[in-house]
Amino acid sequence: MTDTSIKPRRVRFSWEETPLHWVPGDPFTTHLINVLHMLLPAGERWFVHVFKQALPYIQDPRLKAEVKGFMGQEGTHAVAHQRVLEHMREQGLDPGPYVENIEWIFERMLGDDTMPPIARTYWLKERVALIAAIEHYTAVLGQWILDARPLDDAGADAVMMDLLRWHGAEEVEHRSVAFDLFMHLDGSYARRTRTMMVTGPMIVLLLKRGAGFLMANDPILRGRLRAKWTHYFYRAHQGRVPTLRSLALAVPRYLRPGFHPSQEGDLRQALDYIAISPAHAEFLSLTSETYRRSQ
Ligand SMILES: [Fe+2]
Ligand SMILES: [Fe+2]
């Protein structure tokens, strides 16, 4: 069997102590980042669904093993973020209506039946290219959260920061897999450009609308504070959310001939974080405890 370092890791997060505004006194930053919990479960389940269809076309055993490891990691991420949505619901913020829109996008608009059966291969290549473009952004955001000291300085909840950093670190770790799969199956520069041109603005639009939804439905704010661009620019200036400039500059990097995702992010830093992630350590200690008791 081909060995690959990309494998899902078990984690355990305890949400009991995490407040609704987990960046204290900063509901805007809290909710802008919370949009990820609404996007990722449906999005990452869709990655796994599409990649499962791509598996039979992969000729390289090493890439195939990496794609399987990637699928395991994304499936684990989806479950972890889903739990945060349950916690938000318990705190009186129902993400349901927005999540239903997101599920419609991934399951219907980008689903298997959007194109006629004759276009099956075309549609598979198109969706793999879309995932590669999205994964460029998840790697950029993953590195950003690993570096985001201003959130720690603001007193952001430690469990939430661990979830985001564990996920971000695995995004940096598997940043090349979707791109390598796209290049293996197709690699068309026109498709790479087209899908990235859709992905960048889509991510910004979904984040903006999601933050607006959460701010409007927040049971503490009760409609007194709305999401505004001025909030965004202020928090980006403070380093609590990524700047628009950093998101925009990611596009030409992806489109540069000779680009490879391995040039992005700091793998050593990502793996170092995973080694000390409390969620991963908690799971390991829990399993060894169960094992000891069973002896
Ligand atoms: Fe992920
Ligand atoms: Fe990913």
Closest ligand, as measured to the CA of 131: 2
Per DSSP, 74 falls in state H
pLDDT at 295: 54
Closest ligand, as measured to the CA of 163: 1
Collect residues with CB below 5 Å from ion ligand 2.
Answer: 138, 171
Alpha carbon of 84 to ligand 1 centroid (Å): 15
pLDDT at 294: 57
Report the predicted TM-score, pTM, of the whole model to 2 decimal places: 0.93
Degrees (nearest 5) of the Cα angle 182, 187, 191?
A: 95
Q: Which helix (H) or strand (E) holds 6?
A: none
pLDDT at 5: 85
Instruction: Per-residue pLDDT tens, the chain, 295 aa: give them.
Output: 455 689 999 999 999 999 999 999 999 999 999 999 999 999 999 999 999 999 999 999 999 999 999 999 999 999 999 999 999 999 999 999 999 999 999 999 999 999 999 999 999 999 999 999 999 999 999 999 999 999 999 999 999 999 999 999 999 999 999 999 999 999 999 999 999 999 999 999 999 999 999 999 999 999 888 889 999 999 999 999 999 999 999 999 999 999 999 999 999 999 999 999 999 877 666 666 665 665 5
pLDDT at 223: 87
Give the burial class of 154: count Cβ atoms within 10 A of its Cβ; 0-12 exposed, 13-18 middle, 19 or more buried. middle
Alpha carbon of 154 to ligand 2 centroid (Å): 27
pLDDT at 198: 95
User: Tokens in use for 9?
Assistant: 């890791």
pLDDT at 281: 76
Whole-number Å distance between alpha carbons of 61 and 180: 13
CB 87 within 8 A of CB 18: yes
pLDDT at 158: 97
